[in-house]
Chain A
Amino acid sequence: MTLFLRRTLPLLLTFLFGVAFAAQYYIPHPVSEGALTEISVWLRIILGFAMILGIASLCQVHYAKIRTRVAGWGYSLVVYLSMLITVAVGFWAGGQETGTGLGWVYTYTLLALQGTMFSLLGFFVASAAFRAFRARSKEATVLLVAAILMMFGRVPLGEYLVPAAGPLAGWLLNVLSLAARRGILIGISLGGIATSIKIIFGIERSYLGGRE
């Protein structure tokens, strides 16, 4: 019984839901459409709880650091305090942001921090381009030429200096690059479908996690 509940039931549910909603696409009957509507509402609620999982996991990691006083535990305290203050401010504001404390926290902390964190990549891409972007082979040379053409042709200064650069970059994107991307897309899609089928038929079980 325990084995049925722990292993067989989840696999059975995956199979039933997988087959049912793959077949649903081809059945326009109102009952079928109604089932899709209802289950998609259910999924939104379940996924909301799943988001709590990620947050709780992060809380656990930082709590462990504070408890054991590892090096840098003060920063974990910053995580906790900032999280609690944001939650308190958010509930006080009733979840609304216009003209509230939550809006202030969002605009002047989250926007600034997340925006700047990812903008650091701009500097590192320049540094990496100088250090590592070398024409070591014919293939690398093709990559290099395509990259330079794109960077040159997609900015106003490049198009001003060489008017043909813009249309050439456009042609590169709309023909050569498109062809490769389409091949990758078809390949990935075939792989994705194969994986989905393996999941539905219980061949791929890594999503269950842990011992069976």
Chain B
Amino acid sequence: MRELAGKLLRLDRRAIFVLIALATLIPLLYPVGLPIRVSPEVKRVFDHIESLPAGSVFLLSLDFDPASKPELYPMAVALLNHAFRRDLRVVTMTLWVTGTGMAEKVVSGVASEYGKRRGLDYAFLGYSPGGANVIINMGQDLNAAFPADHYGERTADLPVLRGVRSLRQVNYVVSLAAGTPGVESWYVYGKEKYGFELGGGVTAVIAPGLYPFLDTGQINGLIGGLRGAAEYEILIGMKGKGMAGMDAQSATHFIIIGLILLCNLFYVLAPGTVVRSFDPSAPLRTGSAQDRTGSPQEGQR
């Protein structure tokens, strides 16, 4: 039994890859549709947009690149659907250069579904380098930060931006972020001085790091990961990619939980295992044979 446990610990990782691939593929092809509970932090973003009167200025900063598309694009679709339904004046932009194409596509795509007109009902300002510096620039003078929108039209002449001289005149900003510049940058260099209300939509990687800001009210809501996107879709009554991915998310999570539990079971059963306590002052020791990762085949690659 112990020898078997030792062997299983050195299982070829490609077997695990196949397991993950199947756990993703099968639920996508045959969805179950389990209920999803909406978390308070996502509801707060929804409630705030619901409370904005028609004609309010809503700035959506799509601060992500194609690597984070599966998590943040569904959020963008859901938020834009909500904003256009509420007849808000939607201003969009991006602080990430390779995200420009995606940002443009999602805005123009959702806007056309609602018959919204560029320049009149919404604007896409495009990309500007500098991250935090762009936010400061927008806070001081929006037309100086973006003299023209993505299509080359002067922002000072756009009807949708009438009366919006800086971030102080924006009613609500939501940053959909995959890192820096992102939500934290919008707070530190934006809301902190210019006083607009700020919400966040982030990848699951950085979501836990933003809870301190949520707790103090520095951001008024947080949509985290694909799960957050699914929750927002439920709130606006829309079936999107967020909800569609939840079954696969459940399956893959359970596979990984199973793998971790099995790994620990094999580790305990495998010969030569010693459980020790962490002591930072103790000298470094080399591990036992079971601590060695990798299969014999990996050494041959």
* A contacts, CB < 8 Å to B: 25, 33, 36-37, 40-41, 43-44, 47-48, 50-51, 96-98, 102-103, 106-107, 110-111, 114-115, 117-119, 122-123, 125-127, 129-140, 144, 147-148, 151-152, 154-160, 166, 170, 173-174, 177-178, 181-182, 185
Within the complex, what minimum Cβ distance (angstroms) separates A172 from chain B?
10
Chain B contacts with A in 211-264, Cβ cutoff 8 A: 211-212, 215, 227, 246-247, 249-257, 259-264
Asked if B54 is at the interface (CB within 8 A of a chain A CB), the reply is no
Asked if B2 is at the interface (CB within 8 A of a chain A CB), the reply is no
Give a binary string over B37-74; 1 marks a CB under 8 Å from any A CB, 0 the rest. Answer: 10110000000000000000000000001111110000
Q: Is the beta-carbon distance between A137 and B277 smaller than 8 angstroms? A: yes
Q: Is the beta-carbon distance between B144 and A151 smaller than 8 angstroms? A: no
Q: Is the beta-carbon distance between A129 and B276 smaller than 8 angstroms? A: no
- A43 with B133: in contact, given A130-B11, A152-B257 (CB under 8 Å)? yes
Q: Is the beta-carbon distance between A110 and B66 smaller than 8 angstroms? A: yes
A47 to B128, CA, bound (A): 10
- A135 with B36: in contact, given A44-B133, A173-B208 (CB under 8 Å)? no
Q: Is the beta-carbon distance between A118 and B67 smaller than 8 angstroms? A: yes
B contact residues around A43 at 8 Å (CB)? 130, 133, 137
B contact residues around A139 at 8 Å (CB)? 277-278
Within the complex, what minimum Cβ distance (angstroms) separates A90 from chain B?
11
Q: Report the number of A-B residue pairs with Cβ-Cβ less than 8 Å.
A: 184
Asked if B169 is at the interface (CB within 8 A of a chain A CB), the reply is no
Q: Could you list 16 further interchain pairs (A-B, Cβ under 8 angstroms) beyond the known A123-B17, A147-B260?
A: A36-B136, A37-B137, A37-B141, A41-B137, A43-B137, A44-B129, A44-B134, A127-B13, A144-B260, A151-B253, A154-B253, A155-B246, A156-B246, A157-B251, A173-B211, A178-B212
- A33 with B208: in contact, given A47-B133, A115-B66, A154-B227 (CB under 8 Å)? no
Q: Is the beta-carbon distance between B102 and A130 smaller than 8 angstroms? A: no
A111 to B69, CA, bound (A): 8
Chain A binding surface, main DSSP class: helix
Residue of A nearest to B12 (CB): A127
Asked if B145 is at the interface (CB within 8 A of a chain A CB), the reply is yes
A155 to B250, CA, bound (A): 5
B contact residues around A134 at 8 Å (CB)? 263-264, 267
Residue of A nearest to B292 (CB): A131
A156 to B234, CA, bound (A): 13
A155 to B101, CA, bound (A): 31
A contact residues around B251 at 8 Å (CB)? 157
B contact residues around A96 at 8 Å (CB)? 151
Q: Is the beta-carbon distance between A155 and B227 smaller than 8 angstroms? A: yes
Within the complex, what minimum Cβ distance (angstroms) separates A126 from chain B?
5
Asked if B300 is at the interface (CB within 8 A of a chain A CB), the reply is no
Residue of A nearest to B247 (CB): A156
Asked if B195 is at the interface (CB within 8 A of a chain A CB), the reply is no
Max chain B Cβ within 10 angstroms of own Cβ: one of A48, A106, A157 = A157
A1 to B251, CA, bound (A): 68
A contact residues around B141 at 8 Å (CB)? 37
Within the complex, what minimum Cβ distance (angstroms) separates A113 from chain B?
8
Residue of B nearest to A149 (CB): B257
A contact residues around B69 at 8 Å (CB)? 111, 115
A138 to B277, CA, bound (A): 6
Q: Is the beta-carbon distance between A177 and B208 smaller than 8 angstroms? A: yes
Within the complex, what minimum Cβ distance (angstroms) separates A28 from chain B?
10
Q: Is the beta-carbon distance between B212 and A44 smaller than 8 angstroms? A: no
Residue of A nearest to B135 (CB): A40
Q: Is the beta-carbon distance between B247 and A97 smaller than 8 angstroms? A: no
Q: Is the beta-carbon distance between B257 and A166 smaller than 8 angstroms? A: no
Q: Is the beta-carbon distance between A97 and B16 smaller than 8 angstroms? A: no
A107 to B69, CA, bound (A): 12
A35 to B247, CA, bound (A): 53
Q: Which of B65, B104, B137, B215 contacts A40 (CB 8 A)?
A: B137
CB pairs A–B below 8 angstroms (26 shown): A36-B140, A40-B136, A41-B137, A44-B145, A110-B101, A111-B66, A114-B66, A126-B16, A126-B17, A126-B259, A130-B11, A131-B9, A133-B260, A134-B267, A137-B276, A139-B277, A151-B257, A152-B257, A154-B227, A155-B254, A156-B247, A158-B254, A159-B35, A173-B211, A174-B215, A181-B211
Within the complex, what minimum Cβ distance (angstroms) separates A164 from chain B?
11
Within the complex, what minimum Cβ distance (angstroms) separates B185 from chain A?
13
A163 to B193, CA, bound (A): 42
Q: Is the beta-carbon distance between A157 and B264 smaller than 8 angstroms? A: no
Q: Is the beta-carbon distance between B275 and A135 smaller than 8 angstroms? A: yes
Residue of B nearest to A150 (CB): B208
A137 to B128, CA, bound (A): 48
A48 to B130, CA, bound (A): 8
